[in-house]
Amino acid sequence: MYKCLSILDIPHIYDIKKPPLQKRCFMMETIIEEYLKFIQIEKGLSVNTIGAYRRDLNKYKEYLTLQKISNIDFVDRQTIQECLGYLIDQGQSSKSIARFISTIRSFHQFALREKYAAKDPTVLIETPKYEKKLPDVLEVDEVIELLNAPDLNKNNGYRDRTMLELLYATGMRVSEVIQIEVEDVNLMMGFVRVFGKGDKERIVPLGDTVIDYLTTYIETVRPQLLKQTVTNVLFLNMHGKPLSRQGIWKMIKQNGLKANINKTLTPHTLRHSFATHLLENGADLRAVQEMLGHSDISTTQLYTHVSKSQIRKMYNQYHPRA
């Protein structure tokens, strides 16, 4: 026979204990990848800038792994301060530390805003002050020696001379030079269209000398480098492919050695020289800012620190008792 159960015999729903809800736990790797996607799509940052963010966040993640911290909510202010001390012990410069703090502050703000984290441990972390220094700037005669170094009788030599002339004539970043296409150069009107950080477009004027080199390069030299390749990129290697950043770096180093220039040469050296020489000769600061593509004029103001020789020259020229 079946036994009829009383309602009292049935466990009441409120008497059944449910397991507690697990708090969503996001791995640092996941949050970092989401953050990098965010800054690429929402902020429109360049590939190189995103690469710098990724390197900083990888350092951060490696340190947290050493401390056996995998959950972002276990990171507190003390953890970050100890991480900074760890990086300083490794010999990181004040500038690198400042950039690192800026990166992780932005990262934690993102994590809090998107509810990957319950708090932002960077709120009371201060960014260290550091002195912004310019790399070596070439004197005008050194620039001329560098420009004269390539062998104009060779296709790659003529290409190198044209690139060096363009870098010094416009102050472009190397990342901008390798992206220039033939149609970006207007030889008739004397300007080049440049796409800078965050794909911001600007127009930079060209002088007669660089126009002459560009004309010969585009009409005569580039078709010989192009071979069977189909590309609109302006500067090509010997295989007809677009030149890389590393290729331009190597070219500048090699021609610097040929020119017997003892200063540290980087792809930015001609950019710094371009800005410094313009300002030393009385160019308007805002015009230089526009040509360099600086979003903040304080970056351009770094170039107003004229050399000691220039100060002495100005003193001798203008002081009545010099």
And the tokens for 51?
């690469």
**One-letter amino acid identity for 85?**
G
Q: Is 159 a catalytic residue?
A: no
Q: Which helix (H) or strand (E) holds 77?
A: helix 77-89
Q: Which of 159, 271, 272, 277 is the catalytic position?
A: 271
CA 312 to chain centre: 35
Q: Which of 159, 173, 222, 277 is the catalytic position?
A: 173
Q: Which of 197, 245, 258, 305 is the catalytic position?
A: 197
Is residue 176 a contact partner of residue 195, using CB atoms and an 8 Å limit?
Answer: yes
Q: Is 305 a catalytic residue?
A: no
Q: Is 268 a catalytic residue?
A: yes
CA dist 222 → 30, 217, 226, 234 (Å): 45, 6, 6, 8
Q: Is 303 a catalytic residue?
A: yes
Q: Is 271 a catalytic residue?
A: yes
Q: Measured between alpha carbons, how far is 289 from 267 in angstroms, rounded to an integer?
A: 19
Q: Measured between alpha carbons, how far is 117 from 81 in angstroms, rounded to an integer?
A: 19
Could you give the count of Cα atoms lying within 13 Å of 35 in the half-sphere of its Cβ? 28
Could you give phi then psi for residue 181, rounded to 5 degrees? -105, 160
Q: Which helix (H) or strand (E) holds 195?
A: strand 191-195
Q: Which of 202, 245, 268, 305 is the catalytic position?
A: 268
**Catalytic residue positions?**
173, 197, 268, 271, 294, 303
